[in-house]
Structure 1
């Protein structure tokens, strides 16, 4: 998934044989974050784990 406004990045990834999915991502400043936020798993297999302590 790549912001569809990033044409150079899309071409570069395609040149390196990546399958690119252009996505309209025009509200990134409103909501903050990026693709990592709206592609994050909401449900995971296994139980809760403590990573910070």
Structure 2
């Protein structure tokens, strides 16, 4: 979300502990319905609305 807060699968308790030990604020989320769509947090939390114009990253 920003340089201090991160979204983490709530089932990944080890990752949450590791991130918190490194100074991050881990925000556990349940995202059990994402698997049928073949996505993970990077796609599951993808912003659908942005400020600014379209950019080509190719």
* Fold match (TM-score > 0.5): yes
RMSD: 1.4
The structure richer in helix per residue is 1
Aligned residues, how many?
52
Tell me, which stretches of 5 or more residues in structure 1 are unaligned?
none
Tell me, which stretches of 5 or more residues in structure 2 are unaligned?
1-6
| TM-score, reference length from structure 1 | 0.76
Give runs of ≥4 in structure 1 deviating > 6 Å.
none
* Bigger Rg over Cα: 1
The structure richer in strand per residue is 2
